């Protein structure tokens, strides 16, 4: 589940290396209260995938048969949970050291707990809630529709103190996320994911480390819309980041094969602007353009 969380955060951060925009949809994404209560107070990166909404998008419905299914089929076979059908929302919270994942969906907690135990887990119920642990991590069932995975102290806090006593400050920033977002991410204070330096993923950390805050979202209803807004420490830092991001897009255009004109159109769909110490990024790719890009 940790890698699902990283996927959420990575997708949005990578979009910052070439995207961002505006929306006519109402702002103010509403996170399910059962999920919001369980978000640790010390979270510095918070992201989510609304799987129920994404499944209804034309893009997903057209390409779902081509998505890798081996791991998902194994999950369904071993644990009776199919993320493609049974999970509605995934929330990943990162505090700089540990990942904490929340899932909302349709699963039978008793049956799933039994299968996790059969797979090597140990029942360690806490605060009247079912919890299966393995080492110093585990899976807890906070309700009939919400499960959490992560370090035991965070699971205990989510069960007993309902979110470590006070809500994460990042939750107040959800007002900047439109209600129809399929994927979103929020960060604060130079947060990074501690990827290896010099790797492609490490470039995500370079971007995040220069920002005081970042908010972003993506929607797949009509092609792909991505919007991000980052605040740098000052205008000079924002200018440097703006230059770096535009340089990455330029390098991408130069490296596009001559027989892939659709790649140039994809890069042209990206717009990056700087206003004082704020970086705004928009990407708007049509369904037809995505079809051409993904077809090869």
At 224-246, the pLDDT tens digits run: 899 999 999 899 999 988 998 89
Residue 159 has pLDDT above 60, yes or no: yes
Residue 214 pLDDT greater than 50, yes or no: yes
Mean pLDDT computed over every residue of the chain:
82
β-sheet bridge partners, residue 215: 186, 229
273: CB partners within 8 A, 6+ apart: 242, 279, 280, 281
Give the contacts of 206 (CB within 8 A, at least 6 positions apart): none
Confidence (pLDDT) at 32 = 87
Chain CA centroid to CA 156, Å:
23
Element (H, E) at 213: strand 211-219
pLDDT classification of 172: cutoffs 50, 70, 90: confident
Q: Which residue has the higher pLDDT, 208 or 95?
A: 95
Residue 272 pairs with which residues in a beta bridge? Answer: 281
What DSSP letter does each residue of 85-148 carry, written as one string? HHEEEEEEEE-SS-EEEEEEE---HHHHHHHHHHTT-EE--BTTB-EEEETTEEEEE-SSSEEE
pLDDT beyond 60 at 164: no
Count of alpha carbons within 13 angstroms of residue 273, beta-carbon side = 10
> Strands across the sheet with 183-188, in order?
122-123, 131-134, 137-141, 146-151, 99-105, 87-94, 45-50, 183-188, 211-219, 224-232, 278-285, 270-275
Percent of the chain residues topping a pLDDT of 90 = 38
Residue 2 has pLDDT above 60, yes or no: no
Cα gap 137→27, rounded to integer Å: 36
**Mean pLDDT of the region 173-185:** 91
**Cα(87)–Cα(68) distance, integer angstroms:** 17
Selected residue with higher pLDDT from 64 and 132: 132
Judge whether residue 11 has pLDDT over 50: no
For range 34-61, the mean pLDDT: 89
**Which pTM does this prediction carry?**
0.82
pLDDT-derived band of residue 185, with 50, 70 and 90 as boundaries? very high
- Tell me: pLDDT of 260 over 50: yes
- Contact criterion met (CB below 8 Å) for 279 and 238: yes
pLDDT at 31: 87
Q: Given a cut of 50, is residue 20 above it in pLDDT?
A: no
């Amino acid at each position: 589940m940790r890698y699902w969380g990283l996927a959420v955060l990575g997708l949005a951060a990578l979009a910052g290396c070439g995207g961002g925009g505006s929306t006519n949809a109402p702002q103010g994404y509403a996170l399910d209260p059962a999920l919001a209560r369980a978000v640790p107070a010390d979270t510095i990166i918070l992201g989510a995938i609304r799987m129920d909404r994404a499944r209804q998008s034309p893009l997903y419905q057209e390409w779902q048969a081509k998505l890798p299914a081996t791991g998902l089929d194994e999950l369904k076979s071993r644990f009776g949970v199919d993320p493609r059908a049974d999970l509605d929302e995934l929330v990943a919270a990162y505090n700089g050291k540990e990942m904490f994942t929340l899932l909302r969906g349709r699963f039978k907690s008793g049956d799933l707990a039994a299968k996790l135990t059969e797979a090597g887990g140990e029942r360690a119920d806490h605060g009247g809630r079912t919890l299966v642990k393995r080492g110093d991590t585990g899976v807890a069932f906070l309700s009939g529709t919400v499960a959490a995975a992560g370090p035991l102290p965070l699971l205990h806090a989510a069960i007993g103190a309902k979110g470590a006593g006070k809500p994460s400050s990042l939750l107040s920033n959800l007002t900047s996320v439109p209600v129809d977002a399929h994927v979103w991410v929020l960060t604060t204070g130079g947060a990074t994911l501690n990827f290896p330096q010099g790797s492609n993923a490490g470039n995500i950390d370079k971007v995040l480390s220069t920002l005081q805050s970042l908010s972003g979202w993506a929607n797949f209803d009509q092609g792909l819309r991505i919007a991000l807004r980052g605040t740098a420490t000052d205008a000079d830092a924002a200018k440097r980041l703006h230059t770096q991001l535009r340089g990455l897009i330029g390098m991408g255009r130069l490296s596009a094969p001559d027989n892939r004109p659709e790649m140039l159109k994809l890069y042209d769909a990206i717009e990056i602007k700087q206003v004082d110490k704020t970086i705004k990024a928009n990407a708007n790719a049509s369904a037809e353009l995505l079809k051409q890009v993904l077809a090869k």
